[in-house]
Amino acid sequence: LSVLLAFSLQAKLVKAQAPADDPHLGIIPAPASITKAAGTFTFSQLTQIKADNIKDRNVVFLKDFLLNNRHFNNKLSKYNPRIRSNRGTTLIITGRGSTTLPKEGYKLTITPRRITIIGKGAGLFYGIQTFMQLFPVETSGTEKLPCITIEDSPRFGYRGMMLDVSRHFFTVPQVKKVIELMAAYKLNNFHWHLVDGQGWRIEIKKYPKLTEVGAYRKQTMYGTNRDWPDSLSYGGYYTQDEIRDVVKFAAARYINVVPEIEMPAHSEAALRAYPELRCELPADSKVPAREVNNIYCPTPETFTFLENVLTEVMELFPSKYIHIGGDEANKEPWKASAFCQALIKEKGLKDEHELQSYFIQTIEKFLNSKGRSIIGWDEILEGGLAPNATVMSWTGEEGGIAAARQKHNVIMTPQTTGNYFDHYQSSSPQEPVSFGRYAALDETYNYDPVSKELTPEEQQYVIGTQGNLWTEYVPTVAKLQYQILPRLFALSEVAWSKPENKDYTNFSEVRLAKHFARLEAMHYNYRVPTALPI
């Protein structure tokens, strides 16, 4: 931890303001277009705010920012376009003129006496986020803002961040800090990895043992102990009220929460609670217990269980997408199970891969019948994709490319392209213990989720990208923030900005410093890219 803190202190020394000639004005993610004009606008306590609806949550959000961060208690009143005041300076927040804007888009205009932010819903929210970034981090009496026109909208509709709360549990306030950060950098899908082998984190009323038993384990750090000793005390879970609270908190920031319920594998926590859902194997079976404990047996009881779980999940999460996992399922227990072999025969399936596909399709049918769609990790390609599934490509880019060619939507989140935020941020021996390999910041930044191997038609199926934080080696919130910052900034630019506006030198040498200062002000821990030799 002392290493983490040292990085943080060092960053305090960096200059907090982007230079005036920065073509991106210090904004992350870089807006689609910025046109500069002569002059400045002097923002002060006397600037009047006018809005279509003074109770709109975006307006309240901005008012709070000015009050809490600037100590400005600006006058707020209803916007009437017919009344043009010649006195003082005005900030107008309006949906007028927003119908021609792209989805989630906004237009921000600053002239010497008037600022106009045009947008609706998410677009307006993002316009306000950009506007807030124009302020220097340090508070001062008045602020001089450059005269500009910004027209902006995202490259991708799905801009995600995944947090694994199974390997280590994070509290509601800690999770909200991640969501706030996502919102400030225009990410819009929080993928909540609620369930894995090392802990079940969501209260399910019908199956209380999932959390009574499945939410706790013995060791505090990730380890190889899969025998689950009697003394189980480390862990935690979210009550359904807490989940609702987080979903509401995210929605207020235009962030959808995608819950993930892992199946058929990564299921040890659930199977410790309900061992009857494991495959029953012959007494002389050689399949190791840890494999049997990892995977659901595709019995009618298992499907009833999962459908009941998902029913409660759907009540809590309005998300169109429900993530059903699907990764890393070792099929040895299914090979050894008489029940599974009989099922393969009965359904006319070729092998265990097709049995996995049958498993996922059964769940997909159920979720589709309730108006939801599934996302699965790229192993759901094995044995044939479920008809309406969206694929999250993680093992590499190949799964995503294959799915796009099959006309399935794809979210690119490869472990090979800097999207795995659990990976090392340097090769220095002083780097805190992390997972996997060294993935440099510029790798995350320079990734293009739309593979050149796809035709223009196929490219349309790439709906977005995501950063994943697996938490085997993330036991504290300080480490959580350290792992995702500043990589989340790079991700946000990949997900939002036009490729032609990306420039790693400008990002890392010009803009980052200002955002580190912002992180200080918001009390986040982060890693300074030059803190250790690479």
Binding site for ligand TNX (CB under 6 A): 327-328, 377, 394, 420, 422, 435-436, 470, 472
**In whole angstroms, how far apart are CA 125 and each of 89, 121, 122, 140, 249?**
22, 6, 5, 24, 14
Cβ 360 to ligand TNX shortest distance, Å: 14
Tokens 């002239």 locate to 111
User: By beta-carbon distance, which residue lies closest to ligand TNX?
Assistant: 470
Q: To the nearest whole angstrom, how small is the minimum distance from the Cβ of residue 413 to ligand TNX?
A: 8
CA distances from 290 to 66, 282, 342 (A): 55, 16, 23
Q: How far apart are CA 31 and CA 153, in angstroms?
A: 7
Nearer to ligand TNX, 248 or 290 (CB): 290
Report how far residue 311's alpha carbon sits from residue 315's, in angstroms, rounded to the nearest whole number: 6
For this structure, is 266 an active site residue? Answer: yes
Q: Where are the alpha helices (DSSP H) in 460-511?
A: 477-484, 487-496, 504-505
Nearest-approach distance from CB 136 to ligand TNX, in angstroms: 38
Sequence-distant (6+) residues with CB within 8 A of 136 are 16, 17, 143
Using the minimum distance from each CB to ligand TNX, give the nearer residue, 110 or 194: 194
Q: Give the integer Cα–Cα distance in Å for 370 and 254.
A: 23
DSSP assigned state of 135: S
Catalytic residue among 196, 262, 378, 472: 196
> Which of 122, 375 has the CB closer to ligand TNX?
375
Say how many C-beta atoms besides its own lie within 10 A of residue 379's C-beta: 21
Distance from the Cα of residue 169 to its chain's centroid: 17
Nearer to ligand TNX, 106 or 394 (CB): 394
Nearer to ligand TNX, 117 or 324 (CB): 324
Per DSSP, helices labelled H in 135-231 are 172-184, 209-212
Query: Which of 75, 78, 79, 80 minimizes the C-alpha distance to 63?
Result: 75
Annotated catalytic, 24?
A: no
Residue closer to ligand TNX (CB basis): 191 or 515: 191
Expressed in percent and rounded to 5, the helix, strand and coil fractions of the chain are 35, 20, 45
User: What H or E segment, with its residue span, contains residue 469?
Assistant: strand 462-469
CA 27 – CA 524 distance, rounded (Å): 18
What is the dihedral angle through the alpha carbons of 60, 64, 67, 72, rounded to the nearest 10 degrees? -30
Measured from the CB atom, the residue of 158 and 377 that comes closer to ligand TNX is 377
**Chain-centre distance for alpha carbon 281:** 39
CA 49/CA 69 separation, integer angstroms: 16
CA 366 from chain centre, in angstroms, equals 26
> Which of 151, 327, 328, 443 is the catalytic position?
328
Compare residues 94 and 466 and give the one whose CB is closer to ligand TNX. 466
DSSP state for residue 510 in the 8-state scheme: I
Whole-number minimum distance, CB 329 to ligand TNX, in Å?
11
Closer Cβ to ligand TNX, 242 or 443, answer by number: 443
Q: Residue 413 or 497: which CB sits closer to ligand TNX?
A: 413
* Residue 58 beta carbon to ligand TNX: minimum distance, rounded to whole angstroms: 35
- Closest C-alpha among 88, 79, 127, 92 to residue 107: 127
Which residues on neighbouring strands pair with residue 193, listed in sequence order? 164, 260
Q: Are strands 423-424 and 158-164 parallel, antiparallel or unpaired?
A: unpaired
What are the backbone dihedrals phi and psi of residue 274, each rounded to the nearest 5 degrees, phi first?
-130, 75
Note whether 379 and 373 are within 8 A (CB). no
Minimum CB separation of residue 395 from ligand TNX in Å reads: 8
Q: Is 34 in a helix, a strand, or coil?
A: strand
Could you confirm whether 328 is annotated as catalytic? yes
- 423 secondary structure, DSSP code: E
Active site amino acids: 196, 266, 328
